[in-house]
Amino acid sequence: MERNEVFFDENRESLDKLEKRLDLSRREFLQFCATVAATMGLPAGAEAAIAKAVESAKRPSVIWLHFQECTGCSESLLRAEHPTLEKLILDVISLDYHETLMAAAGHQAEAARKSAMKANKGKYVLVVEGAIPVKDNGIYCKIGGQKAIDLVKECAADAAAVIAIGSCASWGGMPSTDPNPTGASSVAEVLGKPVVTIPGCPPNPYNFLATVVHFLTFGKLPEVDKLGRPKFAYGRLIHENCERRAHFDAGRFAMEFGDVGHRQGYCLYKLGCKGPETYANCSTIGFGDAGENNWPVGCGHPCIGCTEKGVGFAKPIHQVAKMLNVAPPLQYPRIVEEQGKAASFAAAAAVAAIAGAAAGAAIMLTRNLGLSHAAEEAEKAGKSTGAADQAKV
């Protein structure tokens, strides 16, 4: 804690103002900054830079647009607790335009947007929620008499950063499913350039908050993957950190909703869980600050892969997922020596044997998962056929 003291104005009046503005004690504020730094995977000491930025930096102006969506992303933001929404929009960012949350309406709302864009030209953050229809020249969505496709281009022209929040804005989401009559498209496709994407239906509000705080602290957006997703939130498969992973490794699966395995918390892979092919942090961060089990798999429903284009809203919910990787279970013998100890010839031979066995087991596991599912379906079909033949007799 002492290391961060120098990042604060030692004037007691300044500290009092900070505590009053955020309704947090000094210790709680530092804990918040440390949590954000850890969430984003920043190096040691980054929490002090975050603290300094939140304490003294000018709040970034945010223009938030809505297009083809259900407002679920905004609803998710409404349920953030650290900080609460009013602290976020009044003390951390300046939410200058948001059709759902702003008091103004009609011409006054559009005037507020244009005024904020002019006053913060080149410095504001543009957040887009919802897909953008492009078919028939984008006629299927208008805001204030202006087509969505034109509005997003106008607002993005002078933005310091563009963030697509939710699966609809990130890659088209539900509105883009076949036959996609409106030509619903992602923000990146419409603008013709990469943008930061925070997919999810809805996404976790802290993924958005951490991204904005990173921008506020360092003047740039966090490192992203090839799809524009922040790596701190979308760098690992859900399957890797799922609380049901031990059941997967042990071969314990729920076969039907409500069966014994399902009631006992077994793996939902055979019910169509897309965790093995979906990158997100849902399994580690949860939703709504209501406990660690407050996410789909924790509640007993398979992950539908909403953060992945070509998976969520594209694959049938109960279709078995594609295994992107299979790691040896933790109960296998370790395949590396302790650091600083040399391996003997016998130990090296044992390691090679174990590694080969683990690789073979992984291959067989992947193969058997599919075969067992196919066998079960064939058995069901056989029983149905047998019953039908008996009925004829």
Question: Bridge partners of 64?
Answer: 98, 127
Is the pLDDT score of 15 beyond 80?
A: no
- 153-180: average pLDDT: 94
- 89-111: average pLDDT: 82
38-88, pLDDT tens digit by residue? Answer: 666 666 666 677 776 666 556 778 899 999 999 999 988 888 776 666 666
Q: What pLDDT band is residue 5 in, cutting at 50, 70 and 90?
A: very low
276-331, pLDDT tens digit by residue? Answer: 999 999 988 878 766 667 889 998 999 999 999 999 999 998 898 888 876 545 55
Q: What is the pLDDT of residue 371?
A: 53
Is the pLDDT score of 6 beyond 50?
A: no
Q: What is the pLDDT of residue 10?
A: 47
Is the pLDDT score of 345 beyond 90?
A: no
Q: What is the pLDDT of residue 95?
A: 84
Question: Bridge partners of 63?
Answer: 97, 126
Q: What is the pLDDT of residue 294?
A: 82
Radius of gyration of the chain (CA): 25
Nearest Cα to Cα of residue 189 among 205, 175, 203 = 175
Q: What pLDDT band is residue 383 in, cutting at 50, 70 and 90?
A: low
Q: What is the pLDDT of residue 166?
A: 95
Share of the chain above pLDDT 70, in %: 67
User: Lowest mean pLDDT: which of 23-32, 64-73, 283-292, 377-386?
Assistant: 377-386
- 102-115: average pLDDT: 88
Taken in order of first residue, the domains within the chain and their CATH numbers are: 57-234 (3.40.50.700), 238-381 (4.10.480.10)
138-165, pLDDT tens digit by residue? Answer: 999 999 889 999 999 999 999 999 999 9
**How confident is the prediction for the chain on average, in pLDDT?**
79
